Structure 1
Amino acid sequence: MAGNKYQQFRAQPRLPKFAVPKRYDLKLKPDLTACKFFGSVQISVDVVSNTKFIVLNASELSVDSKSVRFSSSTKVLEAVEVEMCEDDEIMVVDFGKSLPIGVGILSIAFEGTLNDRMKGFYRSVYEHNGEKKNMAVTQFEPADARRCFPCWDEPACKATFKITLEVPSELVALSNMPVLEEKVDGNLKTVSYQESPIMSTYLVAIVVGLFDYVEDQTPDGIAIRVYCKVGKAHQGKFALDVAVKTLGIYKEYFAVPYSLPKLDMIAIPDFAANAMENYGLVSYRETALLYDDKHSAAANKQRVAIVVAHELAHQWFGNLVTMEWWTHLWLNEGFATWVSYLATDSLFPEWQIWTQFLEESTEGLRLDGLSESHPIEVDVKHAGEIDEIFDAISYRKGAAVIRMLQNYLGAKCFQRALASYIKKHACSNAKTEDLWSVLQEESGESVNELMNSWTKQKGYPVVSAKLKGQILEFEQSPFLLIGAPGDGQWVVPVTLCSGSYDSRKRFLLKANSEAHNIKELLGASFSKSSSWLKINVDQAGFYRVKYDDALLARLRNAIENKFLSTMDRYGILDDSYALSMACQQSLTSLLALMGAYKEETNYTVLSNLISISSKVVRITEDAVPHLLDDIKLFFINLFQYSAERLGWDPKPGESHLDAMLRGELLAALALFGHEETQKEASRRFHIFLDDRDTPVLPPDLRRAVYVAVMLSVTKSNRSGYDALLKVYRESDLSQEKTRILGSLGSCEDPDIILEILNYLLSSEVRSQDAVHGLNVSRAGCEVAWKWLKDNWDQIAKTYGPGFLITRFISSIVSPFSSYEKAAEVEAFFAGRMKPYIARTLKQSIERVHINAKWVQSIQNEKNLGDVVSQPAYRKYKYGFWFALAMVPILFFYLCFW
């Protein structure tokens, strides 16, 4: 702890600006056996105002105070005192005398530990020729470069980096830039790299280990490699192809070429995030970079394409042009998310990726529907708060409001403005207002006025539409899932069409309410009483729509008759679900709407329908358990058409989307208790156990089959669980391992659930992967909560501040649905609060309150049983017996006709 002498520098969100870095000459020597590293750095510092102090970031480092000196052209000053302030993660150097104004060299020698927390400079463990080995890896975003070397660890403090590594001679050593020189001296080699362009500390990257690679180059001559564990190089070919083509797409779209001479992408066995956009050396989880033609599912292939496109977008949005401070994180993540879909759509148009983008938007809407949400531009006051804003607001809401703005301004205008923005701020930093300024200049529209309401305040509106005679009334109000009144008013880009998509209308809803003559607004297209009216066409806007009963009935009819676009079918369903959860619409009404989708065939719509169905089953299990069997039957019937259309076995030449859909449908049917699905899954699983290459269980079906197997597992009949663990242990494919972990929690035996949760913390499961097994059945909720409390100290120690620890809280707490449980959770964490879990904990408790209120609302519904008990929705249950009874009748008919 620093004394009062340095109090002026403590508890500040930003470093003082009397000295700024210009260049780092960084030398590191990692010891992969002892898991330590030694280093020295010489930083060219521009002293811009009178000071005898230099204050920079450092954490978990041991600094040799005798090595700390400042050299200028006129003098050399030794440090009088070096104070490490661990709570604030800063290092205060007192030179006793004023430093000369101008550029000098700050020299520091230090050492540190290769930690096991997947942040800073850390170790990852892999196996080579049956022997476990360590590799050294960096992960510096958001603020962990300070755990590797003393630095100005803020995005605005850009500098160039000259990096030198001393490593075992047999290992591969990678950094941001190409190798300049390599000298071998016995068992060690010294590798020097070209000096980097100006960049932020969080983008510096170093990886040391044993790797194979595949390589290619762009038409411009940019060398691209995909590195991975030895023996897996063939799994990098798909990502390599995507990367080569994506760089070309972005070069054209941004009108600026990729700015480095090489691009490496590397799969890391232990990695907390999905991927990290380090300049010129992008790191990934294995599941996000590697694709195996034989054992990876279609969903894995799609994920690799999108994640690669996302990280390469950052080479422009984030690396070339960098946010000024973490408040503007969304400029990085929102744009990279949106642009990744643009690139993926260009490469794979048959995937209908823009329709799937609605799932991104939905995740943003669901998080931003909480009162404990935060604005896109969030005020960050401490480094410990940064991790929690790497969430669906920064990524998904950010991407959705960008899509909304592009839709409003037009695609060509938007692209021209982005290219201007990149060129204007290249090699520099930018704020949100800088982007709005360029867009406003290019379009002539009041972009600031439109967008400030979406980025500077949390939440979004629900736009209510009521038709009274010839008058269509619009009203906007803040939407909260908890159902309480909210604050805020937005400039809402309303789009609408009626009867067809040939004529679309748009206007900005700025006031709380407006009224329009329907004929003047839509003309003759709304003349018939049966004409449908769709607001927020193709779900381009980031808001919910609530229709009056008459307008909703027209839309339900339009869905049944297949009049609406895929995106609009998705949007109507998703809005209705959110309104039901917020108790603004009955569950009875939602189920009646869902019934209109019984012949739906689109992957994205059905995927959301499955997700909503699962959540409805979960909440009705608490609210109306006596109707649970009927509700499950309702959903089994709802999915029968699509399941029968696809069948169990892949068809020659079938689409990528059908391949993904089949597994999701079968998993849902198994979870809802469809006996034939469960039996067939069990049959195929046992064939698979004898032959892992059998065609009866292709990768796209495995999760569904694993879920079905776990549903039958009990303490007295655990063979399915033991068999799955055997598959897990024998597989070397990360995607297969996470598939299995994500299926285990569907077991309904509390004793087995506890065993599974304990297994997640064992040495057999990588720390990064444990979160995949946290979603458990309702029967396991109480067990999981007790387990979390019993193991919290270990979990907090293992995961600490970072991306993953919040998943333990949200996954286990959020499914509860009683006010008593919310109070119990709050009481447990009252003495365990840390800045990096505070927001997630509040959000999770709010979700429990939302569920509790929804349960009470459902219990008060009068006609819910009638909807799910209709003969139309019971035909599956009695279908077999009905068919059996028809046999003699049919025989009689044929004989005597």
Structure 2
Amino acid sequence: MEQFKGQPRLPKFILQNDTVSISNPISTPANSPAPSPSTSLFSPKPDSSFSMLLIYLSKPPPYLTSPKICLQSRGNLMWSLLYAGKIIWSFAKAIMNLIIWLLRGRSEESGSSGVFKPTKVEIFEEDEILVLEFPQTLPIGDGILDIEFEGVLNDKMKGFYRSTYKHNGEKKNMAVTQFEPADARQCFPCWDEPACKATFKITLDVPSDLVALSNMPIIEENVKGQIKTLSYQESPIMSTYLVAFVIGLLDYVEDHTSDGVKVRVYCQVGKTNQGKFALHVAVKTLELFKEYFGRPYPLPKLDMVAIPDFAIGAMENYGLVTYRETALLYDDQHSAAAKKQRVATVVAHELAHQWFGNLVTMEWWTHLWLNEGFATWGLRLDGLEESHPIEVEVPHVSQIQEIFDAISYNKGASVIQMLQRYIGAECFQRSLALYIKRHAFSNAKTEDLWAAIEEESGEPVNMLMSSWTKQTGYPVISIKVKDQKLEIQQSRFLYVGSHGVGKWIVPITLCCGSYDNQINFLLESNSGALDMNEFGLAEAATAEGKGSSSLGWIKLNVNQTGFFRVKYDEDLAERLRYAIENKYLTATDRFGILDDAFALCMASQQSLSSLLTLMSSYSDEFDYTVLSNLITVSYKVERIVASAIPELLDAIKQFFINLFRIAAETLGGWQPKDGESHLDAMLRGEILTALAVFGHEQTLTEAIRRFNEYLIDRNTPLLPPDLRMAAYVAVMQRTSAKNRWGYDSLLKIYRESDLSQEKTRVRSLVLILNVSKEGRETAWKWLKDNWEHISNTWGSSPLITCFINAIVSPFSSIEDAEEIEDFFANRTKPSMARTLKQSIERVRINANWVQSIQNDDQLVKTLNILTYYH
């Protein structure tokens, strides 16, 4: 059996051809634990089945010695053996207590049947694999494996777990599954790989007063006393990580698509009004994707469920999408406009997965971006040396969770957008329809997508895109004008400041002086040059020129469709500032220029004084996307200046107050306008929050006045949801060790509110106010003091990587990095190794940035001019 250790994937000698069924609840002796959630195995054959028996959600029976709720099950697994042998291999977790194993096999050659019982059963805990050894050689052919086992309904928000919440002050339990990426094995032994697809027939035994949901509609219900047995329609063929059950006290709102698909939003009783917006978005989104992908949603129903305890934002289970409450529910009386946008975005993302991920599934986690990139349709994470390619080898199951990051989501989406722009929107749409048609109810690799697009477009897509999906990082394109030539050079962008090794085939779009004067070409080498006269750019540039110069503004990467940074020489940068001030550029390009400049500054490839000069060009900016990014940049600049040159902090804050005050006044300050747009409502809240963060006295005074009214009347129109964060920040700005009134008031709001949105708003203060050295050090001390509990509870959960990244990354000295490395030297697990390296790298990047700022001899002069004389 030792040869099975360290095996991340299924052995080649098994053809995955299994069937599982459970026909009746397991009878339990009076003196033994009562059956709780119960399960069995799965089959990747289209005609296979899966059944499950369930559940106690109340307190465990008094005769249970453990407070954990037990799983107990019997079932069978059909399989085919390609080669004669004595071993059967599966995935399983060591939480399981295996009770009965019996194999009934039929020889392919003789047709005779036999019954076999294993002499050795072993689970290798580290590798999460189960191995059965039989005394005799098993015949080639079909077999059925009968199985009975026990497990637990855990409290770790993965596998099959118990979610707790309060309803009318009373603690309630809910049973929920979260199997992605590889935790179906926590519920039942199985071949837990995305390529092992099967159909599933689910049967649940639950208390009769509970709602029990699975991937498919209920086709039969039998009630016997306090227990009801629910049988569900057989599912289409799908992967194990998409199987789902949710059991609890739930209510719903319902609608239908034009072709009759029933859509419901389930939530806690009493919150159904908060599900109406998500329901509306879901119905519209299913209609949109049906038209765009040329294929209807394949299931008869779609349920979306709000879960109180949920480790990730949402999970795209086929026909039963689960969400964190804050990602699905929207209260028009208490939710901010930004929350409405968040709900719409998350719902659209998860429903895109019903096609990309569920209907067509990646063959292995290496191709995860095919799921997440299309569902997201990001530059910052991929500027780290400790980044990874879009396609990344996953040697062990414990490392899968770490690649659910900005590379798989945002870089994947950005590369898709770049390719769409290159081949054209209509051709791209036809290509996706072909890809889905060809691989529906099956699995695909990245090369399968490229093949479909090449077939439709006639372009060498595989050659073009391989440098983007198989290579870590992305390029920075440096551009300068010399002797009427436009000189262009590419190198890998790195936040450590040096130019990394790498070469990409880069689709370049460029305009000069006007969007009407635009050229497109592929940059296939490390450098190149364009003759301005030959391409007709010089004359157009001169027409929009500035002063006595013979050349006007040039914008590379028009409307940010390419996945790369752009570094302009100082002369071109000055002309772009002129174009920004005069609104010659689109909002998308204004956003992109700022985003690139900030990244270059953070990488110490551009001075902070140069970045501040560029930011001053946005003083008359009113576009939400651009201003929101400007605010984000300002927070980061304030934090790094506080570490680099604390004596400049007041001047930096005043600079940002001056920058945002005009926009606040234009929006009307604290008073929302009748009929104002959704984006203006979001912008008002963000601008006032920024002014509060930077200590604008009039904003703080007005915020606290409105907050006092809110304490008296939670429905006061003086503090609508969009403005509450600004008020909360202002209250905390006036809070101190001697004056705890604001802190105590916010804590009271948090404890009294039963709205997840309000609780999230108060918790978010920790992130906004984490700019102070004291805040960072307090969080770091908390992490160290509680590490053993955090590691034991969330060691393989995505939550632990969130803890590490949020607490570690803001530090900004080499000494900090070394202290963090020392602490984690003997505390690292495979599931967090990459995140930890990335977080420590960010600390070192911050340290380099601090040094760059300290060496900027123009910073004081520039800041004084921009703040007090501009």
Q: TM-score, normalised by structure 2?
A: 0.92
Please list, as runs of the form range in 1=range in 2, the aligned pairs for 1:222-621 lying within 5 A after superposition.
222-338=261-377, 364-523=378-537, 524-528=539-543, 529-530=545-546, 531-621=552-642
Identify the residue that residue 627 of structure 1 maps to in structure 2: 648
Find the residue that maps to 2:327 and give its secondary structure.
helix
Does residue 15 of the first structure (1) align with residue 49 of the second (2)? no
Identify the residue that residue 837 of structure 1 maps to in structure 2: 832
Segments of 4+ in structure 1 off by > 6 A? none
Identify the residue that residue 192 of structure 1 maps to in structure 2: 231
Letter in 1 for 2:790: I
Task: Kindly state the Cα deviation for residue 863 of structure 1 after the two structures are TM-superposed.
Answer: 1.4
Task: Kindly state the Cα deviation for residue 96 of structure 1 after the two structures are TM-superposed.
Answer: 2.5
Task: Kindly state the Cα deviation for residue 712 of structure 1 after the two structures are TM-superposed.
Answer: 1.4
Does residue 27 of the first structure (1) align with residue 52 of the second (2)? yes
**Once the two structures are superposed, what CA deviation does each residue of 1:486-543 show, in whole Å capped at 9, x if it has no partner?**
1211001110001111232111101000011012224432234432110000011110
Please list, as runs of the form range in 1=range in 2, the aligned pairs for 1:759-798 lying within 5 A after superposition.
775=770, 777-798=772-793
Please list, as runs of the form range in 1=range in 2, the aligned pairs for 1:39-54 lying within 5 A after superposition.
39-54=73-88
Maintained 8 Å contact 2:94/2:123: no
Letter in 1 for 2:688: L
Identify if the C-alpha distance between structure 1 residues 368 and 795 changes in structure 2 by more than 3 Å, giving closer, same or farther.
Answer: same
Task: Identify which range, 518-527 or 503-512, moves more after superposition.
Answer: 518-527
Identify the residue that residue 890 of structure 1 maps to in structure 2: none
Letter in 2 for 1:851: N
**Match for residue 873 of structure 1 among 839, 856, 867:** 867
Identify the residue that residue 683 of structure 2 maps to in structure 1: 661
Partner Cα separation in structure 1 for residue 295 and residue 508 of structure 2: 34
**Once the two structures are superposed, what CA deviation does each residue of 1:742-761 show, in whole Å capped at 9, x if it has no partner?**
114555xxxxxxxxxxxxxx
Partner Cα separation in structure 1 for residue 156 and residue 475 of structure 2: 40
Identify the residue that residue 861 of structure 1 maps to in structure 2: 856
Maintained 8 Å contact 1:465/1:548: yes
Task: Kindly state the Cα deviation for residue 681 of structure 1 after the two structures are TM-superposed.
Answer: 0.9
Identify if the C-alpha distance between structure 1 residues 100 and 64 changes in structure 2 by more than 3 Å, giving closer, same or farther.
Answer: same
Identify the residue that residue 347 of structure 1 maps to in structure 2: none
Q: Judging by fraction of residues, say which structure has more helix.
A: 1
Task: Kindly state the Cα deviation for residue 477 of structure 1 after the two structures are TM-superposed.
Answer: 0.6
**Once the two structures are superposed, what CA deviation does each residue of 1:175-226 show, in whole Å capped at 9, x if it has no partner?**
0011121111111111111111111000000111110001111111111111
Find the residue that maps to 1:583 and give its secondary structure.
coil
Task: Kindly state the Cα deviation for residue 776 of structure 1 after the two structures are TM-superposed.
Answer: 5.7
Identify the residue that residue 351 of structure 1 maps to in structure 2: none
Task: Kindly state the Cα deviation for residue 36 of structure 1 after the two structures are TM-superposed.
Answer: 2.1
Find the residue that maps to 2:413 and give its secondary structure.
helix
**Once the two structures are superposed, what CA deviation does each residue of 1:218-241 show, in whole Å capped at 9, x if it has no partner?**
111111111000011111111111
Identify the residue that residue 204 of structure 2 maps to in structure 1: 165
Identify the residue that residue 159 of structure 2 maps to in structure 1: 120
Letter in 2 for 1:598: S
Identify the residue that residue 32 of structure 2 maps to in structure 1: none
Partner Cα separation in structure 2 for residue 306 and residue 471 of structure 1: 43
Maintained 8 Å contact 1:25/1:42: no
Find the residue that maps to 1:98 and give its secondary structure.
strand
Find the residue that maps to 2:566 and give its secondary structure.
strand
Maintained 8 Å contact 2:210/2:248: yes
Task: Kindly state the Cα deviation for residue 127 of structure 1 after the two structures are TM-superposed.
Answer: 2.4
Find the residue that maps to 2:304 and give its secondary structure.
strand
Maintained 8 Å contact 1:498/1:534: yes
Letter in 2 for 1:860: N
Partner Cα separation in structure 2 for residue 549 and residue 373 of structure 1: 30
Identify if the C-alpha distance between structure 1 residues 552 and 506 changes in structure 2 by more than 3 Å, giving closer, same or farther.
Answer: same
**Match for residue 66 of structure 1 among 95, 100, 107:** 100
Find the residue that maps to 1:575 and give its secondary structure.
helix
Maintained 8 Å contact 2:105/2:138: no
Does residue 690 of the first structure (1) align with residue 712 of the second (2)? yes
**Once the two structures are superposed, what CA deviation does each residue of 1:809-857 show, in whole Å capped at 9, x if it has no partner?**
1111111111011011001000101101111111111111111111111
Partner Cα separation in structure 2 for residue 559 and residue 29 of structure 1: 62
**Match for residue 712 of structure 1 among 731, 734, 738:** 734
Structure 2 unaligned regions, length at least 5: 19-44, 61-68, 107-111, 547-551
Task: Kindly state the Cα deviation for residue 130 of structure 1 after the two structures are TM-superposed.
Answer: 3.0
**Once the two structures are superposed, what CA deviation does each residue of 1:720-778 show, in whole Å capped at 9, x if it has no partner?**
1111111111111111111110114555xxxxxxxxxxxxxxxxxxxxxxxxxxx4633
Identify the residue that residue 182 of structure 1 maps to in structure 2: 221
Letter in 2 for 1:233: T
Partner Cα separation in structure 1 for residue 233 and residue 5 of structure 2: 36
Task: Kindly state the Cα deviation for residue 779 of structure 1 after the two structures are TM-superposed.
Answer: 2.5
Maintained 8 Å contact 1:143/1:202: yes
Task: Kindly state the Cα deviation for residue 47 of structure 1 after the two structures are TM-superposed.
Answer: 2.2
Identity %: 65
Partner Cα separation in structure 1 for residue 75 and residue 684 of structure 2: 55
Task: Kindly state the Cα deviation for residue 50 of structure 1 after the two structures are TM-superposed.
Answer: 2.4
Identify the residue that residue 734 of structure 1 maps to in structure 2: 756
Task: Identify which range, 278-287 or 796-805, moves more after superposition.
Answer: 796-805
**Match for residue 813 of structure 1 among 788, 808, 822:** 808
Structure 1 unaligned regions, length at least 5: 1-5, 339-363, 748-774, 877-897
Letter in 1 for 2:124: C
Name the Cα RMSD after superposition. Answer: 1.4
Identify the residue that residue 188 of structure 2 maps to in structure 1: 149
Please list, as runs of the form range in 1=range in 2, the aligned pairs for 1:86-101 lying within 5 A after superposition.
86-101=125-140
Maintained 8 Å contact 2:435/2:452: yes
Find the residue that maps to 1:107 and give its secondary structure.
strand
Task: Kindly state the Cα deviation for residue 628 of structure 1 after the two structures are TM-superposed.
Answer: 1.3
